[in-house]
Structure 1
Amino acid sequence: MTKPKNKEKQMSFLDHLEELRWLLIRSAIAILVGGSIAFFFTDFIFDTIIFGPKRGDFITYQFFCDIAQRFDLDKSFCNQELPFEIQNRTMEGQFSVMIWTSITAGFIIAFPFLLWELWKFISPALYNKERKNARVFIFVSSLLFFIGVVFGYYVITPLSINFLANLEVSNIVKNQIDLNSYIGLVKTTSLACGLVFELPIIIYFLSVLDLVTPQFLREYRKYAIVLILIIAAVITPPDIISQIIVSIPLLILYEISIFISKFVQRKPKPSKDLTPS
C-alpha cells in the first residue's frame, strides 16, 4: 500500500518562512481586535484595574493589613494612601499610554488564539500522538498564563508598588511618579508573571526535545530556590509571611516542572508517524 504523502515533509525552508509570516500577521490582527475591544473599556481598565494598586483600600493591602494586625507584623500595608502622585509630563503621554495599554490588554485577550497559531506552526515537528493534544495544550497553557497574570497583578504588583512608594533616601525627596513608569510596572509585572507561569509548558517541550532532564532540574533546584527567595525578599516587606506567600507558587511551579520532565523522559518515544494527522 502506498504511504500517503506528508505535506509537512515536503515543505521547503521558504514555505516555513511563509507559514511564519502568516502566523505573525494573524496574531497581530488578533491582538489589534482584542485591543480595539479593550479601547472601549479604558475607563474601567484605568480607574479600576491599572490604578487599583495605587489606592490604600486595594484588596491585597487589606489582606496583608489584616494578617499584620493579627500576628503583630509590619503594618506598612495599613496606610490609607500611598505616598506618591502620578504625573503626566508629555503632551501626548496620556494618549500614548491609552493606546499601548489597550494593545497589552488585546494581547492578554488574544492569548489562547496566539497559542493555537503557535501550536499549528510547531505541530509538524511533534509525534502524531502529541499533535492530538492541541486542546489540552491550549487550555492548560492559557489557564497557567491567566493565573500568572492574576498572581502578578494581585500579589507581585501591589507588593512592589507598596515597597517602592514607601522607600525613601531622604524625607526631602517627594515621589512624583511618571505615568509611563507606573503603568509600565503594572503591565510588565503582570505579563512577566503570566509568562513565568508557563514554565511547566516550556519544560515539557524542552524535555520532549531532550534539552532538559529531571536530573538537571534537581541538580539546580537549590539555586532556583535561592533565586526565588531573593526575589521574594526584595519585593515584599521584611516579614516572613509575605515572602512565603510570594515564594510558594513559584516553588510549586518548579517542582511541577521536574515532575513533567520526569514523566516525559519515562514515556517510550514512538517512531515518527509520517501520516498526516
Structure 2
Amino acid sequence: MSGRGELAGLRALVTGGASGIGLATATLLAGRGARVAVLDLDPGGAELGFTADVSDDASVRTAVAAAAEALGGIDVLVNNAGIGAVGTVADNPDEQWHRVLDVNVLGIVRTTRAALPHLRAAVLSRPGASAAIVNTCSIAATAGLPQRALYSASKGAVLSLTLAMAADHVREGIRVNCVNPGTVDTPWVGRLLDAADDPATERAALGARQPTGRLVTAEEVAAAIAYLASPAAASTTGTALAVDGGMHGLRLRPVAP
C-alpha cells in the first residue's frame, strides 16, 4: 500500500493489520503517503502482507525481515496485534493468562526486538529525523472495567512497557507512544455483542459508558496512531493518547429522566 501525502517516503509495518484497528491504520497510513506492510496470522489481500504469529519469535523475525526488505527499511512500527479476554480473576485459567500475556505483551517485545535494527538504520539515514513505534493499548490500562481482569492486566503492562521503551530509545531517535482506545466497534467487540443475551441492549450499554454516548470507530483510533507516527509528533514520546470518547477523564452527571 502506498500513496502521496504528509507521510510520503515513510515505511511502516503494522501488526494485526488485516482487520479492525490494524486495517484502518494500514489504510490511513497508505492514504497519507507511507508505504505499508502488514503482519497478521492471515494478511488477507494486503498488497504487502506477511504471515506471522506474534507469539512465535522465529515467525516474527522471518516476517519482519521480509517486510523490511520489501519496504526498503522500516521508519514506523505499529504494534497492534492483540487478543481479548472476558472474566474476573476467578474465571480465566492459567493457560489463558499465559496466552493473552504472550500475545498482547510479549508480542510487542518480539516484534519490536526484530524491528529495532531497521528503525535504528532509518534514523541514521535521515539526520534530524526520528523513527516511531506506536503500541495499541487500551482504556483498560487506566480504568477499572468489570469482567476484564486478564485483558486489563495485559494492557496495563503495555502502558508500562511503552514508557520504558520510550526511555530506552529516545536518545537513539526512536519515539515510542501508545494509543488508549475506549470500546471500539471492531470484529472482536462485534463477537462479544453477538454472544450477549440481548446484543442491542449490550451495545447501548457499551456506548453509554463513554461520555460521547457511542462506540469509538477504528478510523478514529487509526487517526491518532497516524499522528503519533508522523513527523508532526516529533517532540512526542512516552505518551498515551486516549481515544475513548472522554471515558478516562470525564465524570458527567447522570442525565435526568
TM-score by structure 1 length?
A: 0.27
Greater strand proportion: 2
- By relative contact order (CA 8 Å, sep 6+), the higher-ranking structure is 1
Larger radius of gyration: 1
